[in-house]
Amino acid sequence: MTTSRAPAPGQEQGRRRRRLGLAVLALPALLASLELTVTNLALPAIGRDLGAGSTQLLWTVDIYAFLLAGSLITMGVLGDRVGRRRLLLYGAAGYGAASLLAAYAVNAEMLIAARALMGVAGATLMPSTLALAAALFPGPRERTTAIGVIVASVSGGTAIGPLVGGWLLERFWWGSAFLLGVPVMAVLLVLLPVLLPESRGPAGRRVDVLSSLLSLAAVLPVVYGLKQIAAEGAGALPVAAVAAGVLVAVAFVRRQRALADPFVDLRLFADRTLATAAATLAAGIFVLWGSNYALAQYLQLVEGLSPLDAGLWTAPSALGVIAGSTLAPRLARRYEPARIIAAGLALSAAGYGVLTQAGGAHALPVLVTGAVIVSAGLGPMMALATDMVVGAAPPERQGAAAAISSTAPQLGGALGIALLGSVITAVYRGRTDGAVPEGVPADAAGAFEDDLSATVTAAERLPGPAGDALLGAARGAFETGFQVAAGVCAALTVATAVLVARAGVRGKRRVSP
């Protein structure tokens, strides 16, 4: 008979302290996704109260995303240099202050400026959070679980965002959407110094300012160009922006190779575990963001749901990510992480197979079921691949590795929205070209052959039968495009699963012992 020894009081207190520290670190991860959801819901009220035009409303959302994505690498490296806890405290204070400015903005220009500051401050949150979680739980098994909690927190914000946002905007003014960040950051500022020790790389390392600027100039044009391509097609300006970003990225890589103490150590990518995991994150978020973008359009333009109702119907898919990311660390104790990721990707491919059947009277349950299966399969990938990237880096560069694990999804997701959106548009225009219903005037016919959103607006101005016929044909064309895009996602997900499984079998690398 064997007996287990109870942990000493000091050990138990240390465990409790670390768990409380992880709970505090989960707060900014939850807020980051929740805030973006709530902002989208607040846009109509912002437009009315501030007199903001459509372009200004677009920049209210996009400026945050652009500067967030562009600043991640710089903030991750800066945390390695000056201390991840210190940077997170500064970022939390800046984010809270910028949130107050946004909440009480008196015009659209002030709101956009405040959102820009929120993007820069927000870029400190995820790299510092992941690196601090890895330092707090240095053991591979515990680290995997901690990062799974962080990933689940991000999805939790997505799930509750429509509920919290809807409740706030029904009872208060639009600025309440931005005040959410103030108490969360106040809690972080009070508890973080008490619960978490400082974590940094070796002292005396300097930040290369030119490399920081190059990283920003590489990511920003690419993200901007891809978002413009998704919204308006492959015009000269967005294509030029992407090309310019790629050229600057080449200059960035050359500078890193020439520096004795590089801003980002490119030797990190020589580790096959890190490189494969980062590529898998980009590919997984490519299909997830692209399909979620298409799903949101389907729910609003085909099913006719309001933005709030559409957000509520997409919430179950976020619960799928939570389930998958929290289950993954337990599975990783018994199975090779690469095999778990590959199996999850295969499950997601089956979910995309379900989405190819969307259409008709039962479209809504098919959409929700398929989206939940997709997200449940991608949850393990998001948790384990993030852990593989952070865990593969030496402790002094875990902030930079965490920034890589955050930037790869941003780029992959922007590319997914652009390319899968282009697939849907191409199929839609192929189906509507020369298929205008009889009795439809020329201006409405032009909208019909352009996209579904323009058709919905045009159909509202037509008499009943003509408007119904036009809208029905446009929705059918969009459904076909959506189904084709889901099929493309299924094929890409299967291909990624095969590549991950083969790489994992060869490497025999494990995240957890």
How does pLDDT run across 395-429, given as a tens digit for each residue? 767 677 777 777 787 778 777 877 888 888 888 88
Confidence of residue 504 (pLDDT cuts 50, 70, 90): low
Range name among 238-247, 326-335, 373-382, 439-448 with the lowest pLDDT average: 439-448
Query: Is residue 230 pLDDT above 70, yes or no?
Result: no
Measured distance CA(309)–CA(315) in Å, rounded = 10
DSSP state, 138? -
Least confident of 13-17, 204-208, 240-244, 410-414: 204-208
Q: Which residue, among 121, 122, 143, has the nearest Cα to 22 in the 3D structure?
A: 143
263 phi, psi to nearest 5 deg = -60, -50
Token pair 């515990």 in the structure block, residue: 142
Of all residues in the chain, what percent carry a pLDDT higher than 70? 91
Break the chain into its structural domains and give their ranges: 19-200, 208-262, 270-513
Paired tokens of 408: 């790869």
Spatial separation of the C-alpha atoms in residues 165 and 207, rounded to whole Å: 39
Residue pLDDT, tens place only, 37-69: 777 777 777 887 887 776 677 778 778 877 887
Same fold, 19-200 and 270-513: yes
Q: What is the pLDDT of residue 3?
A: 45
- 48-to-3, 43, 174 alpha-carbon distances in Å: 68, 9, 10
CB neighbourhood size of 206 (10 A): 8
Query: Is 1.20.1250.20 the CATH number for 270-513?
Result: yes
Residue given tokens 């090309």 in the structure block: 243
Decide if domain 19-200 falls under CATH 1.10.3720.10. no
Give the model's pLDDT for residue 200. Answer: 67
Identify which of 168, 137, 169 has the alpha carbon closest to the alpha carbon of residue 14: 137
Note the pLDDT tens digit of each residue in 452-493. Answer: 777 777 777 777 777 778 778 888 888 899 999 999 999 999
Q: How far apart are CA 15 and CA 64, in angstroms?
A: 36
DSSP 8-class letter at 268: G
The angle, 0 to 180 degrees and rounded to 10, between the axes of the packed helices 140-171 and 307-331 is 170
What are the two backbone dihedrals, phi and then psi, of residue 356, each rounded to the nearest 5 degrees?
A: -65, -15
Instruction: Determine the Cα–Cα distance for residues 346 and 330; give it in Å rounded to an integer.
Output: 19
- Using only C-alpha atoms, the chain has a radius of gyration, in whole angstroms, of 23
DSSP state, 437? P
Residues in the chain: 513
Average pLDDT, the chain: 80
Amino acid at 200: R
Higher-pLDDT residue of 68, 370: 370
What pTM did the predictor assign? 0.78
Please report, as a single letter, which amino acid is at residue 190: V
CB 320 within 8 A of CB 375: yes
Cβ-Cβ contacts under 8 Å for 19 (sequence gap 6 or more): none
